[in-house]
Amino acid sequence: MYLLFAIILEKRPHIHTPILPYVIMTMDPLKTIEWTPDRKGQPLPGMIRMVDQTRLPGELIFLETRDLRQVWAAIKTLQVRGAPAIGIAAALGVVVAVQDSRAATGAALAAEVDKAADYLATSRPTAVNLFWALDRMRLCARTGARRAPADLKARLIKEAIAILNEDIAMCRAIGRHGAVLLKDGQTVLTHCNAGGLCASQFGTALAPIYMAREQGKHICVYADETRPLLQGARLTAWELMRAGIDVTLICDNMAAQVMKEGRIDAVMVGADRIAANGDSANKIGTYGVAVLARAHKIPFYVLAPSSTFDLALATGEAIPIEERGADEITCGFGRRTAPEQVKVYAPAFDVTPARLITAIICERGILKPPFGKAIEKAVGCGLQAEF
């Protein structure tokens, strides 16, 4: 079952400048992804409800599904995107795959969980949160394989909801730590979308901006449009305006100029996978922004939950980089902008070397270089501190 609920957004001015700020009334945090039970008080059966991010900013569309294949497609086609949100979608996707199972034993149901997880793991290769969440669901199934199938299903939905709720808490903690780095009146440059749309609610790289606002600070944002799918223009600008944050949209190739003009005090970006040494994979173009920030002596911060750390990878050279279809560049949003048959190279991510990163902020604190020991300690200790 696959339902669409649409809210057609009121038309808004497309130009926003710091000279004549256009402020939209602050709204409650948008629930990017959630579980909706069929009956109140009974978690199963139910369905996943998530924002279709491919339809923003023109329409706010909610997808509701209880079909594993459609969860896979939503992840693959970026209807749900952002490392934390992908992990949550995958965990809930396992639940929709088995909630109607007629498996006679817990072991048989656990085998179905493994099969669903294997399938979802093929959707996108770079965001480690996808595999982290699926591993948690596999472990939950295996440790409960001796239980009755109904009991195991209850454990699985409980685990998936825990992943969602933990993400909310982690993002708020990232916001608290990151807000310490921002002073009243400063301006942040961000790339792609790492706000509430990339997670369950508050986001990662934008969380400090939301938290700073709660603390009474006025923080402005410059948002890179983020070619080729314009996540900065379509998503970041939309959600910041929705929240009443002063945001100015720029083309990707304007970042150097706004830095040169002294308009940027800090750069804050998210991450889809962080290697043991601190090398960080994020949306294509992030590496270039980091190089520019170093050239202009601007601090460059990476913000992500600890689930984004991949200690199995020594450096970023081992991070798998997803390549997208050529049509996203040559015929983006349905209009051809390049000759037919032209050769295209379309990596979706790049890796920023640790040497260009001022600090990594996760829910457990502010990590400073050299990152190796700091990351290992942060992942293992569970404390909130500065490393």
The residues assigned a catalytic role are 272
Contact in structure between 137 and 130 (CB atoms under 8 Å): no
Contact in structure between 231 and 13 (CB atoms under 8 Å): no
Listed residue (64, 71, 62) closest to 47, CA to CA: 64
CA separation (Å) from 374 to 290, 368, 371? 21, 7, 5
Count of Cβ atoms closer than 10 Å to residue 373 Cβ: 11
Dist. CA 143–CA 298, nearest whole Å: 48
Dist. CA 198–CA 336, nearest whole Å: 28
Dist. CA 204–CA 221, nearest whole Å: 15
Q: Are strands 349-352 and 359-362 parallel, antiparallel or unpaired?
A: unpaired
Q: DSSP assignment, residue 347?
A: B
Contact in structure between 62 and 229 (CB atoms under 8 Å): no
Dist. CA 188–CA 223, nearest whole Å: 8
Dist. CA 176–CA 210, nearest whole Å: 9
